[in-house]
Homo-oligomer: A and B are copies of this chain.
Amino acid sequence: MKIESVDLFYLSMPEVTTAADGSQDALVVRVRAGGLVGWGECEAAPLPSIAAFVCPMSHGACRPVSDAVLGERVEDASDIYRIAAKIEYDSMDLLQAPHVWSGIEMALWDLLGKARDVPVWHLLGYRANHRKTPYASVLFGADPQETLRAAQAIRDKGFLAAKFGWAPFGDSLAGDEAHVDAAREGLGPDAVLLVDAGQVFGADVAAAQARLPALARNGVTFLEEPFHGSAFAAYGELASLSGAVAIAGGEAAHNAFMAENLIAFGKVGVIQIDCGRIGGIGPAKRVADFAAAHGVRYLNHTFTSNLALSASLQPFAGVEAFDLCEYPAGLQPLARDLTRQSFEIGSDGRIAAPDAPGLGMDVDEAVLSAYGVDVEIRVGGRVLYTTPGI
């Protein structure tokens, strides 16, 4: 199959707020090859990612991502890895490149799965598709009462696990303790409770450490991203102090090495990979293998559509021990409605990657129209990008 076209669709809710809610816009990728269509989604910032695909070459190590993709042949997984390696080298100095490539890479796996009539997890070498317990991933309430009610609502929907994150966590020690207590109270004693600090402590180990007693007494399974994504020394120091509360991170990784370094040098117990940033499904699978070899739990980072969730489940679908997954529980309509399929939680409280070919997600093209943002980029008198037709 020859890659005939790569179309990038910028979608947005009519109003975007400062909430840490990644489902307010999207960059959806459609790839056509061999009479088939594959779909993927980039995370985050649509406009710079579009620019990374179409920009003029700056020099030999700073080429646009389109150069390595358009017209290439994809017959096998090895072709996807070959294109990825070319981008890693030829677009070395183009920082945004992994974000746009991530969505294209997903779409290529989707295409290849459809061509072979097998799910992507099968192409990755897995022969079983293990069900995962989804944790409802939501933001903390504005006050502990709101967090309590959100936790109760999650419990009432049948979730066995939940993660609360971001502001106002980090504002004050007493406030944080009250929010975590409220989350536990609302979820009940048996549910898995997770906390996402959203990097709020920078590299301040003492500030993060001060929250550990409240996390421990509420049986929090892991504390996510207490620090800047690259503050490995701080991660390692906190991990040595955190006892039963594991330290988690990894969503910021934009290549597999960065995630492996967070395991090897940051000593995290949980590695969380966003397939829409790390370069797609292939590098995420590499990190899952590395995590398994190092006794670290792998799970997905996903705060966008069910298309992104399907892609993010593939790299660890076949590992029974990696039995938790992130599940964005408050998607904006554009993300919720993007795909005809969604993930229904079974009577066992679990979900699984689709057993359908590719990523198993059909994109509703009406959503591309309804939320589409018109973009035009002109450079030196030439139109380098205009919103593609549906």
Residues of A within 8 A of B (CB): 10, 12, 16-22, 24-25, 43-48, 50-52, 54-63, 88-89, 92-96, 98-99, 166-167, 198-199, 203, 228-233, 252, 254-255, 257-258, 260-261, 264-265, 277, 373-381, 384
The 8 Å CB contact of A375, one of B59, B229, B378, is B378
Query: Which residues of B lie under 8 Å from residue A230 when comparing CB positions?
Result: 255, 257-258, 261
Residue ID in chain B nearest A96 by CB atoms: B96
Interchain CA distance A261-B46 in the complex, whole Å: 30
Residue of A12, A20, A47 contacting most chain B CB atoms (<10 Å): A47
Q: Are B96 and A95 touching (Cβ within 8 A)?
A: yes
Interchain CA distance A203-B55 in the complex, whole Å: 28
Interchain CA distance A79-B354 in the complex, whole Å: 50
Interchain CA distance A55-B50 in the complex, whole Å: 11
Query: Which residues of B lie under 8 Å from residue A373 when comparing CB positions?
Result: 56, 379-380
A45-B60 contact given A228-B88, A233-B264, A252-B92, CB 8 Å threshold: no
Residue of A12, A95, A377 contacting most chain B CB atoms (<10 Å): A95
Residue ID in chain B nearest A167 by CB atoms: B60
The 8 Å CB contact of A377, one of B47, B56, B99, B166, is B47
Q: Are B58 and A22 touching (Cβ within 8 A)?
A: yes
Interchain CA distance A229-B45 in the complex, whole Å: 23
The 8 Å CB contact of A261, one of B56, B57, B232, is B232
A to B CB contacts below 8 Å, 25 in the list: A16-B59, A19-B59, A20-B59, A20-B61, A25-B58, A25-B59, A44-B93, A45-B52, A45-B62, A45-B95, A47-B51, A47-B55, A47-B56, A48-B48, A48-B95, A52-B96, A88-B228, A228-B257, A232-B261, A233-B264, A374-B379, A374-B381, A376-B378, A377-B377, A377-B378
Query: Chain B nearest CB: distance from A95 CB in Å?
Result: 5
